[in-house]
Amino acid sequence: MSEIKVIRVGVVDGETKFTAKLFEVENAVIAFFDEEGSIKLGTLTIAIPQFSGDSGISSVLLGNRNALITKVLAEQLVRAFNKIALVSSHLAVIQENQTNTLLIRLAKKLCDKAKSQRLPTYSLP
């Protein structure tokens, strides 16, 4: 039986709340970065670890809006978890510099939360 660990974190910027949801399985993490109340597939990036100690290799699979930050997030998760990372970002409010900083903070919160506590585990049928 497979198990999925789930992490959810958020950060507020003015009136907008950004959230990150991460699903961890044995060999991968899947993360969604979006605005509160919205979980949609957006720009999709995959990153794979390089076992020689280098940072991961990433590629955009779908979309182009926020492609650079989505690649950065996937590579950050690969370094933190040493697993394949699939990352989606779907954001209506785009102010690149400020939003990018918030998304990087969210990714760090995901990594910190995963390391600091035992996560709830859900069994799949």
Q: Which class would CATH give 3-123?
A: alpha beta
Cβ atoms < 10 Å from Cβ of 73: 27
Q: What pLDDT is recorded for position 121?
A: 47
Q: What pLDDT is recorded for position 8?
A: 87
Strand ranges inside the chain, DSSP E:
3-13, 16-25, 28-35, 43-48, 57-62, 84-90, 121-123
- Beta strand 84-90 pairing with 28-35: parallel
Which tokens hold the place of 44?
């999709």
- The burial class, CB within 10 Å (0-12 / 13-18 / 19+), for 52 is exposed
Mean pLDDT, consecutive 10-residue segments, the chain of 125 residues? 76 82 90 83 92 75 88 90 91 67 85 70 46
Q: What pLDDT is recorded for position 5?
A: 81
**Domain residue limits, the chain:** 3-123
